[in-house]
Amino acid sequence: MGYAASEPGTTAVASALAIKILIAGGFGVGKTTMVGTISEIRPLHTEELLSERGVGVDDTSGVEAKTTTTVALDFGRITIRQGLWLYLFGTPGQDRFWFMWDELALGALGAVVLADTRRLEDCFPAVDYFEQRGVPFVVGVNCFEGARRHDPAKVRRALSLSEHIPIVLCDVRERESVKRVLTTLLTYAVEGQGPHGPP
């Protein structure tokens, strides 16, 4: 949080607040799309073409049409009001880039864990990561075309989530849907709810 210096005769002290949110989840779950859908600026993407070096390392089952991968982060920004911004950081999805998560998570208010019900196990590491570090998170179930819709209660049981952790069905290609997920996270985080429930 930054504050303008107070000068004699100054009637108000201007302040600015940037809120950091992480978008996490497995490979090909829609993190880059989510950041791009909601960002008011041209998002920064660090995507590279999938190469032969990833064969046998990156699991592309279920996302065979995917041709690129995030190798560092995705970044976008939303202005909530004058002096209040939401910064979105999309994490890389593959195991080999997880060493970057600690840096990306530093100072984050909370996180969205995106899940694909066709490959639900891919979001287990992200759920574990935020639970272990006490970072508030919500689960956004990205409803892909052609994928079976699952009741949030079944997703909760499959992920062994506590009752207080919100689960939101969403389509990361639709701005209003992404806003609903982020609003749910902000409300949850600001109310003081962590992954282990109320203090």
What is the structure's pLDDT at 107? 94
Token pair, residue 37, equals: 């859908």
Tell me whether residue 3 is in a domain: no
Tell me whether residue 137 is in a domain: yes
Tell me whether residue 34 is in a domain: yes
Tell me whether residue 198 is in a domain: no
The CATH code of the domain that includes 41 is 3.40.50.300
Chain centroid offset of residue 21 CA: 6
Q: Are 159 and 125 in contact (CB under 8 A)?
A: no
Tell me whether residue 1 is in a domain: no
Tell me whether residue 12 is in a domain: no
pTM equals 0.76
What is the structure's pLDDT at 72? 53
Residue in the block written with tokens 């829609």: 30
Tell me whether residue 175 is in a domain: yes
Q: Are 188 and 110 in contact (CB under 8 A)?
A: yes
Q: Determine the structural domain holding residue 104 and report its residue range.
A: 17-190
Tell me whether residue 109 is in a domain: yes
Ordered per-residue pLDDT tens for the chain, 199 residues: 343 333 444 334 457 899 999 999 988 899 999 999 999 998 876 554 444 554 444 454 544 544 444 445 789 999 989 999 999 999 886 555 566 788 889 999 999 999 998 899 999 999 999 999 999 999 999 998 776 778 999 999 999 999 999 999 999 999 999 999 999 999 999 986 544 454 4
What is the structure's pLDDT at 91? 87
Three-class SS of the chain: CEECCCCCCCCCCCEEEEEEEEEEECCCCCHHHHHHHHCCCCCEEEEEECCHHHCCCCCCCCCCCCCEEEEEEEEEEEEEECCEEEEEEECCCCHHHHHHHHHHHCCCCEEEEEECHHHHHHHHHHHHHHHHHCCCEEEEEECCCCCCCCCHHHHHHHHCCCCCCCEEEECCCCHHHHHHHHHHHHHHHHCCCECCECC
Number of structural domains, the chain? Answer: 1
- HSE of 57 in the Cβ direction (CA atoms, 13 Å)? 12
Between CA 108 and CA 111 the distance in angstroms is 7
What is the structure's pLDDT at 10? 39
What is the structure's pLDDT at 140? 97
